[in-house]
Structure 1
């Protein structure tokens, strides 16, 4: 499996269809941002969509961005929209993408990487610690996890 960036692909429409057909509401939201051309408006001009590919099949994806679903914060960068296709679950796909995003953060000289989630027990295994709780854009409490990467 290899990690590629969506916006550097020659035929992203095939991948967009795979994202759109994923069995998660967050994937539907992400596909709308991509279709509408508002991905960078929403997540920041330097935002990237990382894809874990096995041949032509999308195994997993996540974003690495300046913004996430928690408004009005100066925290950055964020790993978001983390998803693994059912067929690939249990194979550490999310971990491979998180590690790729952390390498990008190191290259950018960022001190911490943040994840906003309602899940507990998932990101701790990748070295993330609960930092605080904030309201997301839907007014729900979201755990803000962070990891020091320097």
Structure 2
């Protein structure tokens, strides 16, 4: 199995622009929004960070932690957001490694529990996440699943 490098954006701040463009490409959230969150993290204004899986410097996967991932339950914070693994890197444990890294990092910083807003079922349970409740997405008619990691 291939060995990948897992880093925080603080460990590789030179990737900020590329990471913001990569996340924007995957989720269509404005690149400026990613840059603002990343700048706050890099400037130590928040401990909510950005995590990347690199394959020889290429972003193979990533995720972030933000206050709220576009839902109506503002009390359920912080949220893991924007988890994505490139198609050719899927089924290699990258998402699980990223989730494990973020959970451990947040716990080390005394930030617990953390939450995750998703329409996926069964995937996150494999990594210790528990279904918490259904929440309303911003500008969405349907309810979506909220998970917690304690």
TM-score (norm 1): 0.79
2:5 pairs with 1:2: yes
Q: Could you say what the CA RMSD is over the residues aligned between the two structures, in angstroms?
A: 2.6
Number of the residue aligned with 1:39: 37
Aligned counterparts of 1:11 and 1:112: Cα–Cα separation in 2: 28
Number of the residue aligned with 2:72: 71
Gaps of 5+ in 1: none
Aligned counterparts of 1:30 and 1:54: Cα–Cα separation in 2: 25
* Residues 1:6 and 1:33: Cα distance change in structure 2 (over 3 Å): same
User: Does the aligned pair in 2 maintain the 1:68–1:78 contact within 8 Å?
Assistant: yes
Number of the residue aligned with 1:103: 104
Number of the residue aligned with 2:50: 49
| Greater mean deviation of Cα atoms: 68-77 or 117-126 | 68-77
> 1:5, CA displacement in angstroms?
2.5
Could you list the per-position Cα deviations for residues 17-73 of structure 1 after superposition, in whole angstroms to 9, with x for gaps in the alignment?
44444xx4x1x2163523xx44369x9944322111111111101012222221342
> 1:137, CA displacement in angstroms?
1.0
User: Does the aligned pair in 2 maintain the 1:46–1:65 contact within 8 Å?
Assistant: no
> 1:134, CA displacement in angstroms?
0.6
* Residues 1:76 and 1:15: Cα distance change in structure 2 (over 3 Å): closer
Number of the residue aligned with 1:124: 125
* Residues 1:14 and 1:78: Cα distance change in structure 2 (over 3 Å): closer
User: Does the aligned pair in 2 maintain the 1:46–1:66 contact within 8 Å?
Assistant: no
Give the secondary-structure state (helix, strand or coil) at the position aligned to 2:83. Answer: strand
Paired residues, what number? Answer: 142
Gaps of 5+ in 2: none
